[in-house]
């Protein structure tokens, strides 16, 4: 029974190594293609040619690109992700710290997203199809889905933070004291992300539940005299969750990118903001490290979703 | 009507929602099923026979309404009784097998889960050991090989014919007084159809229950039923002992249904299956 599951996980782990290698090569190539380098960024426009040359030598920037990539890759294989060209310190502790913040924000966003969108979808399915409640839920959710998250973020900030003053406009979590203040700083970014994500899962759950409730097996469960609670929890819900999990996985994947934008809007010290800042400073080892961690997260989310899907779908699990 | 009538359908008229308006699907239908009797209900698709079968379980749905009449099971008026009373009859005293038995099995549940939850709900007095024993026994009764292993499997791991038998096992598990079979052999090849009919004859012999057997195929009626009723456009146009209805049809529609029968091969097959 678990053989199919183990085969899936094994194959994915093998593939993910190749994916990460490809990601690092592409990111390195793109960084090389960008104009300018770290020395220029650090010293500014008025730097003398000599000063630039000295700094480039210190940062080993005069070596050819393939040699720098090879050095970096060799280091990674030994667990050394390199040294930041700007901070001149190992990138790993930096990335770990920022990743922790991103994980907190993304985790909280998902922790709200999954029960909220699934239960709204189930609620929509419980009302009359295309009735007033169903239509209203869908309309609000679609509005959230069609607006870009930086628009929603700025909109929420201007109303809830600037006008009403209920929440801080910036999510300066590293300066927050105590869990209550942390929650206050995180609320707006979490809401912004949820606005963007809810519609899709909600509609998938609602449509799946509508179909399942009209299925032969739910009809027969009722005609076999089983109580409504049992029919809903054992016969209907598990079959409506598979499409919902697909949608949640897509959203969680989107979240890896969406969080970058939201972190910049709220000046939140996560991995996304670190990535954007490091790109502007041409800090190649930092960019590579951050990109690898984001990619690995994306891969892990998809694998977790496929495992959950398989556990919920006996047809995939046992043949 | 006698005291042994298990089911009494009295002047039942029902409508079906069709686009904008309501379309009659049953017109003034009266019918009885006696204890221990097998009644065949024949008619082409759209004649209302599946609706009648569903109404024997008191099934309500938004796109259907009862205009007049009653359905009584053991004296209980299914459309006047409280919902809980009707729900307690379903699965317990009335077993139902739909046309597509496979689709009636929840894909995320094991056969054991389906059977055991049904038995535990309707027969709370049974110990969990007895529930397991009964689940295995009813699977064996419908001819599923290796019942202990079958209980651990999911519906998709069985063939179409086996899924239909499992649907039958679910209908039989709580030892009902009435079995409603809505075209249980439709869409299956001749060999599987004959095996299913042989199984139903055996169950009838062992269990002494009443059966309503809905079909569009008069030939299968002859092999199983005591009495037959023929439906046409929502009305019962003919009832009587099954051999009479089949051999001496009085209504022109029944004669047309009979004339449409090609099946010499089915009778031969029935003999072969019976011989095995």
The band of B275, judged by pLDDT with boundaries at 50, 70 and 90, is low
Beta bridge partners of B179: B95, B211
In a domain, A96, yes or no: yes
User: In this predicted model, what pLDDT tens digit does every residue of B14-25 receive, in sequence order?
Assistant: 999 888 899 999
The CATH number that applies at residue B25 is 3.40.50.300
Could you tell me the two tokens for A281? Answer: 């400073």
* Residue A193 located in a structural domain: yes
Average pLDDT over residues A198-213: 90
B window 156-195, beta carbon within 8 A of A? 156-157, 167, 170-171
Range in A144-158, A219-233, A301-315, B154-168 with the lowest mean pLDDT: A144-158
d(CA A168, CA A184): 7
- Rounded CA-CA distance B54/B59 in Å is 6
Percent of chain A with pLDDT over 90: 34
Beta-sheet pairing, B210-215 with B227-232: unpaired
User: Which of A221, A239, A318 faces B154 most closely, judged by CB atoms?
Assistant: A318
Single out the residue of B73, B256, B250 nearest to residue B178, CA to CA. B73
pLDDT tens figures, A248-280: 998 998 898 889 988 988 888 999 999 999 998
Nearest beta carbon to residue B87 from set A225, A239, A313: A225
* pLDDT above 70 (res B270): no
Q: What is the pLDDT of residues B24-41, one digit of tens each?
A: 999 999 999 999 999 999
Chain B residues with beta carbon closer than 8 angstroms to that of A315: 107, 154, 156
Instruction: Give whole-number Cα distances, A297 to A63, A252, A257, A302, in Å.
Output: 32, 10, 11, 9
- Asked if residue B143 is part of any domain, the answer here is no
State mean pLDDT over A158-178. 76
pLDDT-wise least confident of A127-141, B120-134, B219-233:
A127-141
B contact test, residue of A213, A225, A229, A313 with most B CBs within 10 A: A225
Task: Summarize the confidence of residues B128-141 as an average pLDDT.
Answer: 96
Residue B46 within any structural domain of the chain: yes
In a domain, A215, yes or no: yes
The reply to whether residue A221 touches residue B106, judged by beta carbons under 8 angstroms, is: yes
Q: Domain tally for chain B?
A: 1
Residue A116 distance to chain B (closest CA, Å):
24
In a domain, B200, yes or no: no
> What value does the mean pLDDT take over residues B177-187?
88
Q: What is the pLDDT of residue A136?
A: 85
Dihedral sign for Cα atoms in the order A98, A101, A107, A109: negative
Of the pLDDT bands very low, low, confident and very high (cuts 50, 70, 90), residue B271 is low
Answer whether residue A234 is part of any domain. Answer: yes
Residue B212 contacts A, CB cutoff 8 Å: no
Q: How remote is the C-alpha of A280 from its chain's centroid?
A: 22
Q: Which residues contact A135 (CB under 8 A, 6 or more apart)?
A: none
- Confidence at residue B264, expressed as pLDDT on a 0 to 100 scale: 47
* Lowest-confidence segment of A134-138, B80-84, B199-203 by average pLDDT: A134-138
Q: Is B43 on the interface with A (CB under 8 A)?
A: no
Please report the pLDDT score of residue A153 as a whole number: 80
Contact B108 A312 (CB under 8 A): yes
- So what's the pLDDT on residue B267? 57
- What residues pair up with B7 in beta bridges, in sequence order? B33, B73
When the pLDDT of each residue in chain A is averaged and rounded to a whole number, the result is: 87
Nearest CA to CA, how far is B140 from chain A (Å)?
20
Give the model's pLDDT for residue B139: 97
Does B108 contact chain A (CB < 8 Å)? yes
Domain extent for A234: 91-317
Please state the domain count of chain A. Answer: 1
The answer to whether residue B75 is domain-embedded is: yes
Q: Which residue of B has its CA nearest to A214?
A: B61
| Chain A, nearest residue to B104 by Cα | A217
Q: What is the pLDDT of residue B130?
A: 95
Show the domain range for B63.
1-93+210-276
What beta strand segments (E) does B174-256 contain? 178-182, 210-215, 227-232, 235-241
- Confirm whether B156 is domain-assigned: no
Minimum mean pLDDT range among A84-88, A155-159, A174-178, B53-57: A174-178
Whether B83 is covered by a domain: the verdict is yes
A244, A83 contact by CB (below 8 A): no
Name the nearest CA neighbour of B71 among B44, B95, B51.
B51
pLDDT tens figures, A25-61: 999 999 988 887 888 878 887 878 888 888 888 888 8
Which CATH number belongs to the domain containing residue A223 in this structure? 1.10.3720.10
Residue B262, pLDDT > 80, answer: no
pLDDT digits (tens, 9 = 90+) for A210-230: 999 999 999 999 999 999 999
- Residue B120: is its pLDDT beyond 90? yes
Q: Is B167 a domain residue?
A: no
Return the residue of A nearest to B97 by Cα.
A220
Q: In the prediction, which pLDDT does B110 show?
A: 96
Residue A32 in domain: no
For chain B, percent of residues with pLDDT exceeding 90: 64
Residues of B in contact with A217 (CB under 8 A): 103-107
Nearest residue on chain A to B85, alpha-carbon basis: A225
Contact predicate B110/B151, CB 8 Å: yes
Q: Is residue B56 part of a domain?
A: yes
The band of B268, judged by pLDDT with boundaries at 50, 70 and 90, is low
Q: Strand pairing partners for B38? A: B211
């Amino acid at each position: 029974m678990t053989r199919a599951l183990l085969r899936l996980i094994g194959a994915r782990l093998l593939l993910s190594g190749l994916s990460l290698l490809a990601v690092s090569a592409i990111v390195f190539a793109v960084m090389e293609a960008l104009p300018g380098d770290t020395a220029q960024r650090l010293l500014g426009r008025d730097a003398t040619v000599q000063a630039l040359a000295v700094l480039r030598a210190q940062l080993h920037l005069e070596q050819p690109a393939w040699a720098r990539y090879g050095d970096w890759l060799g280091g990674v294989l030994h667990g050394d992700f390199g040294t930041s060209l700007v901070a001149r310190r190992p990138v790993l502790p930096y990335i770990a710290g920022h990743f922790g913040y991103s994980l907190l924000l993304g985790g909280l966003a998902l922790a709200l997203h999954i029960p909220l969108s699934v239960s709204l979808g189930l609620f929509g399915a419980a009302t009359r199809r295309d009735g007033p409640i169903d239509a209203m839920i869908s309309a609000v959710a679609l509005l959230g889905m069609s607006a870009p998250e930086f628009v929603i973020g700025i909109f929420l900030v201007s109303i809830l933070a600037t006008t009403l003053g209920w929440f801080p406009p910036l999510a300066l979590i590293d300066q927050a004291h105590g869990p209550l203040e942390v929650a206050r700083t995180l609320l707006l970014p979490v809401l912004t992300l949820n606005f963007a994500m809810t519609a899709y899962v909600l509609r998938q759950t609602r449509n799946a539940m509508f179909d399942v409730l009209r299925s032969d097996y739910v009809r027969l469960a009722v005609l076999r005299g089983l109580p409504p609670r049992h029919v809903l929890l054992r016969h209907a819900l598990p079959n409506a969750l598979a499409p919902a999990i697909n949608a949640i996985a897509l959203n969680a994947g989107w979240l890896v990118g969406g969080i970058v934008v939201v972190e910049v809007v709220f000046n939140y010290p996560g991995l996304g903001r670190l990535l954007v800042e490091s790109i502007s400073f041409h800090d190649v080892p930092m960019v590579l490290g951050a990109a690898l961690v984001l990619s690995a997260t994306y891969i892990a989310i998809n694998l977790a979703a496929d495992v959950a899907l398989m556990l919920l779908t006996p047809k995939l699990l046992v043949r | 009507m006698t005291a042994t009538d298990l089911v009494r359908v009295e002047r039942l008229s029902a409508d079906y929602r069709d686009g904008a308006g309501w379309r009659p699907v049953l017109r003034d239908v009266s019918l009885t099923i006696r204890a221990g009797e097998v009644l065949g209900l024949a008619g082409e698709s759209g004649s209302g026979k599946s609706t009648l079968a569903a109404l024997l379980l008191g099934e309500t749905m938004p796109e259907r309404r009862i205009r007049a009449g009653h359905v009584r099971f053991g004296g209980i008026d299914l459309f006047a009784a409280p919902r809980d009373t009707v729900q307690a009859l379903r699965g317990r005293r009335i077993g139902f097998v739909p046309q597509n038995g496979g689709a009636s099995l929840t894909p995320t549940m094991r056969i054991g889960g389906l059977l055991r939850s049904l038995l535990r709900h309707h027969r709370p007095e049974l110990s969990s050991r007895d529930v397991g024993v009964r689940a295995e026994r009813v699977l064996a009764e419908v001819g599923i090989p290796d019942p202990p292993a079958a209980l651990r499997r999911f519906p998709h791991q069985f063939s179409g014919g086996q899924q239909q038998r499992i649907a039958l096992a679910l209908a039989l598990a709580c030892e009902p007084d009435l079995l409603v079979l809505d075209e249980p052999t439709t869409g299956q090849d001749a060999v599987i159809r004959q095996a299913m009919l042989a199984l139903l004859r055996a169950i009838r012999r062992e269990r002494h229950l009443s059966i309503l057997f809905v079909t569009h195929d008069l030939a299968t009626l002859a092999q199983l039923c005591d009495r037959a009723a023929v439906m046409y456009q929502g009305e019962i146009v003919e009832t009587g002992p099954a051999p009479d209805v089949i051999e001496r049809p009085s209504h022109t529609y029944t004669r047309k249904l009979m004339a449409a029968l090609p099946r010499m091969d089915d009778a031969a097959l029935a003999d072969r299956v019976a011989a095995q």
